[in-house]
Amino acid sequence: MLSKVERCEASPTATVLGRIAAALELTLAELVSASVDDGPGRLRSADQSTWTDPATGYLRRQVFLSARLPLEMVEVFLPAGAAVAFPAASYILVRQVLWVLDGSVTVVEGERSTELAVGDRLEFGPPSDRTYRNDQDRPCRYLMVLIRR
């Protein structure tokens, strides 16, 4: 699959990209972002890197990614009825907090399911397989803040 992606013969899903990033010991942002912010100051929305999962319409906007700080901020738009899954290996290099900005999202970790509404936040524990699910009839939007280890 990686070879097909490199040759632009395949458009990988978020799940596949999560696996590739984990295998390369990168965060998903480091894998898909066009560049790393190289200086302090303003970065206009139009200049922030985005990526859309071709299978689900899941869209991620890289709000902040810097070589100077071990911090990443990712705004996620999850369409109504969509779900994206990432393997535990995707989270080995990071600690995360999710904050819901609009709508609601359900986070499934193993047997545990956590429903989050606007303003709710969830700090994640040890790496585990995770699915982010929008069970509503309208899109949801959340901010994922990551600290790279």
pLDDT tens digits for range 97-148: 999 999 999 999 988 999 999 999 999 999 999 999 999 999 999 999 999 8
Determine the pLDDT at residue 54: 87
Instruction: Say yes or no to pLDDT of 27 above 70.
Output: no
Determine the pLDDT at residue 100: 98
For all residues of the chain together, what is the average pLDDT? Answer: 84
45-60 mean pLDDT: 90
Determine the pLDDT at residue 94: 87
Look at the alpha carbons of 50, 141, 53, 94 in this order and tell me if their dihedral is positive or negative: positive
Percent of the chain at pLDDT exceeding 90: 48
Query: Where is mean pLDDT largest: 44-53, 68-77, 110-119?
Result: 110-119
Q: Whole-angstrom Cα distance, residue 45 to residue 5?
A: 26
pTM for the predicted model, two decimal places: 0.78
Superfamily assignment of 2-35+46-148 in CATH?
Jelly Rolls (2.60.120.10)
Strand ranges, E, within 66-139: 71-78, 83-86, 94-102, 104-109, 112-117, 121-123, 130-133
For the chain, which residues make up each domain, given as ranges?
Answer: 2-35+46-148
Query: Cβ–Cβ contacts within 10 Å for residue 21, how many?
Result: 20
